[in-house]
Amino acid sequence: MAEEERHVSKTYDLVVLGGGIGGYTAAIRASQLGKSVAIVERDKLGGTCLHRGCIPSKALLRSAEVYATMKRADEFGVMASGELAFDFAKAQSRKAAIVEQLHKGVQFLMKKHKIDVVRGSGRIIGPSIFSPRSGAVAVELEDGETETLVPNQLVIATGSRPRVIPGLEPDGRRILTSDDALELERLPASMIIVGGGVIGVEWATMLHEFGVAVTIVEAAPRLVPGEDDDVSRELERLFRKRGIRVMTGAKLDVETVAADETGVRMAVDTAGGREELAAETMLVSVGRVANVDGIGLENTDVRVENGAVKVNGFLQTTEPHIYAVGDVNGGLQLAHAAAHEAIVAVEHACGLQRTPFEAQLVPRCVYTRPEIASVGFTERQATERGLNIKTSKFSFKPLGKALVSGDNDGFVKVVADAESGDLLGVHIIGPHATDLIAEAALAKLLDATPWEVGNAIHPHPTLSEALGEAMMAIDGLSING
């Protein structure tokens, strides 16, 4: 009895473990449906996306874009007086201000929707005096006290963290994670980026624009291996053209890595033999791992497979009253995917009829220069599934708006079913690709055919014309291609 008296216990309709975009979206949707809700967060609301991912990296990428544009301002008739210079400290300050503004916005949303934010480390507990089933959350508060939250349903949204390769443990100075890189106080003269996936190529773009000598070491045969082959080839071509060194099919010998006051050195094995590399710093960008440790999953029947929480199409775990959304479930590691999963999970938990989450409807964006965006199957994926396909491409090069903007590299690629005409996938590499993909995502949602999208009137002159032309080109009807 004394043990019970030392605890403070509160009941809720829904408790969310983790306050990232998946977590706070789940909380808001539950509140909109009239449920009592609490979020447990040990750090800051907003999670990785807001504080260590999407937003701060895109703020710096925008600074890099402006700087790169200013370097060629004379092409547009703009003659800047004096020598062009870049102030990295100011770019970092701007990044921090944007993050703080958005952080305040999330905090306001919690108050607006009357969501209790419990600050501390949460751990799921099994059946106890508080609940006959697992799913209650014991929270160690910032003041050292313990509070137990007892929900009808629990949403796990604990996110992920950068993957660490044994032997390449980050030291925050010479060997960095993406988290470390966001907090750099000065730019290094050179950097080796281990990993040519989304995070790696975004950092390569940014650092190169800032004047850092960049080398990408990627074990796979191509950059961004999750994207369409044609897109990967085009990105690699443009990176090489700009002076970014790209080493694909390259295996880093971890045992040769040495870091000291002068920099970092290593050996890399390629098809052409072994090569010694050296740089001031190294960024290890080899993916992320789900945060499943230390949250009490061992006290439940929730199944963990391949390092992530196993869920069904409604984001339910193997305990039906417990859901898992975002990076922790091992699916698409995208902020907007986590938010959509959260809505599906909460609406299902509240008994609303809803279709399962469909990964094929989620657009994917890479903020390189040029940008990359895609939705649906790549040509390779469609072929591997035995589908009879047809493809088309339309280049940005003849497009009036692309020429006017001074950026006409890249293309739009469409993958369709040759028999039914169904749209299977859209892949864009080029200016504002991450904005243009929204139309393709809507087309996928509405099950539109390329002919229907192509016959929608695309205004001139706009970059969206490339999408319309590519859709018509699937049947050989492109006007300008």
The rounded Cα 21 to chain-centroid distance in angstroms is: 12
The pair of three-digit structure tokens given for residue 361, joined into one six-digit string = 């409807």
The rounded Cα 466 to chain-centroid distance in angstroms is: 25
AA identity, residue 442: L
Alpha-carbon gap, residue 29 to 303, rounded angstroms? 26
Per-residue burial over 392-416, b if 16 or more Cβ lie within 10 Å, else e, is bbbbbeebebbeebebbbbbbbbbb
Residues written for the chain: 481
CB atoms within 10 A of CB 76: 11
Alpha-carbon gap, residue 197 to 226, rounded angstroms? 8
**Strand order of the sheet with strand 263-270?**
251-260, 263-270, 273-279
Place of tokens 């963290």: 161
**8 Å CB contact between 469 and 397:** no
How far from 114 is each of 23, 58, 109, 344, CA to CA, in Å? 15, 31, 8, 21
Catalytic residue numbers?
Answer: 460
Alpha-carbon gap, residue 359 to 77, rounded angstroms? 45
CB atoms within 10 A of CB 71: 14
Alpha-carbon gap, residue 420 to 399, rounded angstroms? 30
**8 Å CB contact between 227 and 378:** yes
How far from 458 is each of 229, 351, 461, CA to CA, in Å? 27, 40, 9
Rg of the chain over Cα atoms, rounded to whole angstroms, equals 24
Alpha-carbon gap, residue 360 to 462, rounded angstroms? 27
**8 Å CB contact between 156 and 149:** no
Alpha-carbon gap, residue 114 to 139, rounded angstroms? 20
CB atoms within 10 A of CB 15: 31
